Amino acid sequence: MPFITTTDGTQLYWREWGQGQPMLFLSSLGFGNQMWDYQIAAFAEQGFRCIAFDRRGHGRSDHPARGYDHDTLADDVATLIEQLDLSGITLVGHSMAGGEAVRYISRHGNDCVKRLILLAPMTPMLLKTHDNPGGAPREGFEALWASWKHDYPKWVADNIAPFFIPETSPAMLRWGYTLVQVSVPVALACSRDMVEQDFRAELREITLPTLLIHGDRDRSAPIELTGIPSARLIPDCRFLVYEGAPHGIMYTHMDRLHADMLQFVRET
């Protein structure tokens, strides 16, 4: 069956392709599992069992009225791993899912995970506070959420182009728009919790081989706010910066990304 049931009864849709060592892909805020189509196709051909799922409130999964905090989301990942009896996992997270992956490891350990790959993560801490002066002011996030409550589709449409690069085909841009599979209440709940999270201590405790890849033209997760401080906190992190790359590096720098990920997996 393409669904697993979480501890609170939420049904999560999942799918897999290929056979071999498992790779579990965690999706960005607002995106369904289909965002990983190109990576699933590429790594299945390399002999991996590729698994992706729709986070609660996303895609074909249930849309409960609660559970959009990172603790619950990490527990959902743990339930999926347990019910599919996965081990030796390469855990891959993009954007918000970077924090989701880190929280899974801090709450559930790394017995089932062999290595971690973070792509343009939203860690370590987005919000500006007295002990995090490099963060972004709360006023900016409040303005963002206000725009979502007024016209979320317009915000998505306005931000599709910066997610890609000028050379991206119009067809790919249109396809990218279809990947957003979330309601406004769920998007708000996930975003608010993501902004409030502090992953700094958890990043310092990571003992897994970790690859972090970030673009230096990422407007959604500016590298100075996210990628660079995250890489500094993770012990022995392999940090790759893609020049001119936006947030959607899995599409705009596909071949390079796949080669770097495959090399990392084979070496670790």
Nearest to 13 by CA among 37, 41, 33, 29: 33
User: What is the Cα 54 distance to its own chain's centre?
Assistant: 12
Instruction: Report the C-alpha gap between 161 and 173 in whole angstroms.
Output: 7
Marked catalytic residue, from 94, 218, 220, 253: 218
* 247 is known as an active-site residue: yes
Residue type, 46: Q
Q: Given 27, 61, 95, 191, which residue is catalytic? A: 95
Q: Pick from 17, 20, 19, 16: which is nearest to 4 by CA?
A: 16
For 13-41, the DSSP string reads EEEEES-SEEEEEEPPTTB-GGGGHHHHH
- Say if CB 211 and CB 118 are below 8 A apart: yes
DSSP letter assigned to residue 2: -
Q: Is 218 a catalytic residue?
A: yes
Q: Give yes or no: 230 in active site.
A: no
- Report, as residue numbers or ranges, the catalytic residues: 95, 218, 247
